Amino acid sequence: MKLLEHEARALFEKYGIPHPRGFLIRSPGELQERIGELGERCVLKAQVDVGGRGKAGGILVADRATAEKKAAELFEREIKGVPVREILAVEYLEIRQEFYASIAIDRSTKQALILFTDQGGVDIETLAKERPDAVRKASLPLLMHDIPPFMVRDLLQSAPKEIGKILNQLYRVFCEKDALLAEINPLVVTPEGVYAADAKLIIDDNALARQGITVNRDLTEREREAEKHGFSYVELTGDIGVIGNGAGLTMATLDLIEYYEGRAANFLDVGGGADQERVMHAVRLVAADPSVRVIVVNLLGGITRCDEVAKGIISAGISQPVILRLAGTNEAEGRKILDGCGYRMMESMEQAVKAAVEAVR
């Protein structure tokens, strides 16, 4: 889950990473009350979960006299379609130099990948493409307690020495917060010192419970509901709902939809040994997605019994048509239950998927 800037900044602060003075506001009036804390000029930063806020109009510089008005303006804006409910107001920094620092998980080497460049402030993806030599890299086994000094020197080269300390603080946040990415862009040099002028932290979804985060904001409401039931459920952009059991069979169903040139709206893996109740919840969840116009159920009965599946589908009582491929344990009983209830039972998964694609065409 991606944290908002002010949340990441609060964590960075605990690890000693210096940042500009500031506070969070929910109305222009709150800014007016505390404007004295920020000096003559300030920066107003929309707390929205989108990248590149600067370019999208989410970052405004203001002086004391105009701050309240500018904050009101920013609260009225949508940044890349996201309304602004909170603004981080911080003191304005006299930037002399901008650096970029990040630590991410490199899945291929199973190590931490540190990126550093003295061309900060810009879009790092663009820089990596246009001037790959400008981005310095280092790989670090996650068992290391600190970034070794030789590695820090190679990364920093002529950058100010204090940044070495900040890199190590960032590395500690990264490890202890189970992050997939910890990023400071820009990391700035001012006449007063070095500051993290922005803060980004993505926490591994599998570690949210350990980190005490109870709600994954990156999930849709239905994805959250699915998580409660222990279903693997992902929303896509097409119009066919997909239910399978087991990751392999579910993925194969998606591949077949692609093969027949259809588009899945979502997919749900009910897992092993699903009973009537579980199947009912699964069908209702998939059908609750308003873009779903037909549902393909592709289940292989093993421990899962086809008669339980059939009862689950009927008790879901949904409005969209359901096309099934059921095979295995109690297949005949399942067929008998579904017979005459308006469900189409196909002999193979190819036929079932093909029928679903044709149904939405």
Question: Which residues have a Cβ under 8 Å from the Cβ of 207 and sit 6 or more positions away?
Answer: 178
Amino acid at position 333, single letter: E
**Interaction partner, residue 60 (Mn ion, ligand GDP, none; CB < 5-8 Å by kind):** none
In contact, 262 and 238? CB cutoff 8 Å: yes
**Interaction partner, residue 121 (Mn ion, ligand GDP, none; CB < 5-8 Å by kind):** ligand GDP
Spatial separation of the C-alpha atoms in residues 97 and 117, rounded to whole Å: 11
Residues belonging to the chain: 361
Instruction: Using CB under 5 A, count the residues that bind Mn ion.
Output: 2
Task: CB nearer to Mn ion: give 101 or 270.
Answer: 101
CB of 52 to Mn ion, least distance (A): 8
Residue 52 DSSP one-character state: -
CB of 208 to ligand GDP, least distance (A): 23
Active site amino acids: 100, 183
CB of 36 to ligand GDP, least distance (A): 18
198 binds Mn ion (CB under 5 A): yes
Task: Return the residue of 68, 118, 198, 331 that touches ligand GDP, per CB under 6 A.
Answer: 198
187 binds ligand GDP (CB under 6 A): no
Task: Return the residue of 39, 52, 149, 230 that touches ligand GDP, per CB under 6 A.
Answer: 52
In contact, 210 and 127? CB cutoff 8 Å: no
Integer Rg of the chain from CA: 26
Task: CB nearer to Mn ion: give 200 or 311.
Answer: 200
Reported as type and span, the H/E element at residue 111 is strand 111-117
In contact, 321 and 344? CB cutoff 8 Å: yes
CB of 185 to Mn ion, least distance (A): 4
Report the DSSP pairing between strands 97-106 and 179-190: antiparallel
Binding site for Mn ion (CB under 5 A): 185, 198
Binding site for ligand GDP (CB under 6 A): 43, 45, 52-54, 59, 92-93, 95, 121, 185-186, 197-198
